[in-house]
Amino acid sequence: MIVAVHALTGAALRRLCRTRRQAFALGFVSHMACDMAPHRDLEIPQEACLLGGALAVIAGLRGLSSKEFAGAVGAVAPDVENLVGRMLDLPDEKLLLPTHNSYHGRKTAGFGVQVALAAAALGVLLVGREAGGNGQGI
């Protein structure tokens, strides 16, 4: 899954959490669920640019200390393993997360699922603002 999609999904799921710690944890768990969908990864420079853009949007909309940003960081944290694996050209069997050692390097035909998931998550972020609260929690 494109790492920016993980970030947007983790940010949107924060609505299910009361604290930033919970948002981070749910974002982390959501990573595995998202990786199970058919997807295609991009090259590292493209992934980095898209991730930077997604995190900037989330920070701009909700702030760096928000539950949304914590959820986004939690959702992208597991991809550190993918980054290291790709940089060191590790075989799939060496990756620890089940969705990484099963799907690492697998390509599918398109990006449709990822685009739909990113659009839905962005929609939640744009229209799901809480009235009168900053939603930051600890």
Domain of 29?
Answer: 3-127
What are the distances in angstroms from CA 58 to CA 54, 82, 85, 111, 114? 6, 23, 27, 22, 18
Residue in the block written with tokens 């991009």: 42
Q: What is the pLDDT of residue 133?
A: 45
Q: What is the share, in percent, of the chain residues with pLDDT greater than 70? A: 85
Question: How many structural domains are present in the chain?
Answer: 1
- The answer to whether residue 134 is domain-embedded is no
The model's pLDDT over 99-108, given as tens digits with 9 standing for 90+, comes to: 776 654 455 6
Higher pLDDT, 135 or 60: 60
Q: What is the pTM of this model?
A: 0.84
- The answer to whether residue 138 is domain-embedded is no
The model's pLDDT over 88-98, given as tens digits with 9 standing for 90+, comes to: 988 878 888 77
pLDDT level of residue 132 (50, 70, 90 thresholds): very low
- The answer to whether residue 132 is domain-embedded is no
Which residues fall within 8 angstroms of residue 61, CB to CB, at 6 or more apart? 68, 125, 126
